[in-house]
Structure 1
Amino acid sequence: MDKLKKYRDQWWNQGNFHPMAEWEKVKLPYILAENVTIDKYEERTDRFNVRGCWEWDAKFEKNGVVLGEVAVYELPLQAHEVCAGEISSLIFEQCLPANRTDAKIYILAATRTRVRGFGKEADGSFRPEKSSVDLPNGSDGLNAPWPNLVVEVASSESTRHVKEKARNYWLYNNRVRDVIIVKLYDAAENQIPSRMKFDTHDANGDPLSYQEGTHVIRIPLDCLYHDVKPPIEIPRSVLPDPIILDFFFVRKAILKSFSYKCE
């Protein structure tokens, strides 16, 4: 175990997701570092470009400095990354007509956020231009506006944890207007996903067919443009309302990304 810990520590110390760390055997959450300030956590996530896999939670205060743990809740597996990217692409494509206007939707992706005691990044986040918020309630711990829509993709991460994060962090005190949670199964890096389940069933409990247009999430423009102020107006004549997030294409993108394994 000491040898495995040495390899696993390299993710925190060097940004090296080492193949000999056997991350696929780790029970998550895994405590990667202790006695860490949120500034050190953010410095490491920036330096190693780690987004949405680690979380920082405050544990105690020493000499006026808040120290916490860095825990691994998600692994950077291919299916997870493709899923998050495809969802962002689908939203971006439909918002493109507003791209050169005051009503542009900004893709904040996995921009880091912090509140006292916590530091987290979503897998996807979106908002238009918005006014600053009162100190210290901003997404940066200061006055930056929060996203209106957050996307969380849970692959290694448990459904319970991602739901708790949505309820107790993103949606807490109306920070974020809406959260979309996607749970992936059979997303191991060394195998083709064999089962992609979207929890939609008919009145008899039988699963519905997986065809284009059968498994969608509808995102109203009132969600994406929540709390915008004049002169910005919701571009109802330009953008579709609602924005359609069709999981037929998300599933297809994930499976296609593994097509090389079928050659």
Structure 2
Amino acid sequence: MSNIHPTAIVEAGACIDPSATVGPYAVIGPHVSIGAGTTVGAHCVIEGRTTIGVDNRIFQFASLGAVPQDKKYAGEPTELIIGDRNVIREFCTFNLGVPGAGGVTRVGSDNWIMAYTHIAHDCRVDNHTTLSNNTTLAGHVHLADWVTIGGLTGIHQFVSIGAHAMVGFASAVSQDVPPFMLVDGNPLSVRGLNIVGLRRRGFSAERIAGIKQMHRVLYRQGLTLEAARAAMAELPAAHPEAAADIALALAFLDASTRGIAR
């Protein structure tokens, strides 16, 4: 295959689309599948049961599909699944899953993942996220669509960050972050709403007004969490344009296992 550099090592069994490109000194393991149009940079190592979709750009020195950093892992056939059109910059490390927790680490599509990002076992990164340099995800973390993470941020295992939330630079995230919120710091604090992100994604003024009111109920009125949830459930009557957004936030609160950042 002319798109594979002669110095690359591609082990027997690997499935590489003819339109994919593999750069110098890359190593591709026998259980790897790489889709059409994906580019693998020089010195990358892609191993394990790793499936990569179409039109991804993987920069030099990335390590994808290595065994998880979990002492309980004993070589079981777990997976890493990466979607389409992702940008994965230098020195990123994505690990396989572990048994007993689904056994799959998943990265969706259209994500912008900057250098030195670590995605640990059984994480789920959805779509359109931006992970700045040195973002570190411990095991079982879930990032929903359109999440933005500032550089040098660490995220505790089992934490969930809701859709359209933004985490600022050098933060320590040990509790769940509800959708739409803007948080930062160590200890983590909710600073407000990710209004700039919502406007960039075409949210109407009416939708944003409803989300603002939801934020006030949850964070600015001194209510208990249960009282805030009850008040949030009444908001769609006054803000019908934001009904789906409020429902998304309520569902997130119902599913939270670590408690939310408040």
Task: Please indicate the TM-score interval, normalised by the length of the shorter structure.
Answer: under 0.3
Q: Where is the helix percentage greater, Structure 1 or Structure 2?
A: 1
Output the TM-score relative to the length of structure 1.
Answer: 0.27
Please report the TM-score for the alignment, with normalisation by the length of structure 2.
0.27
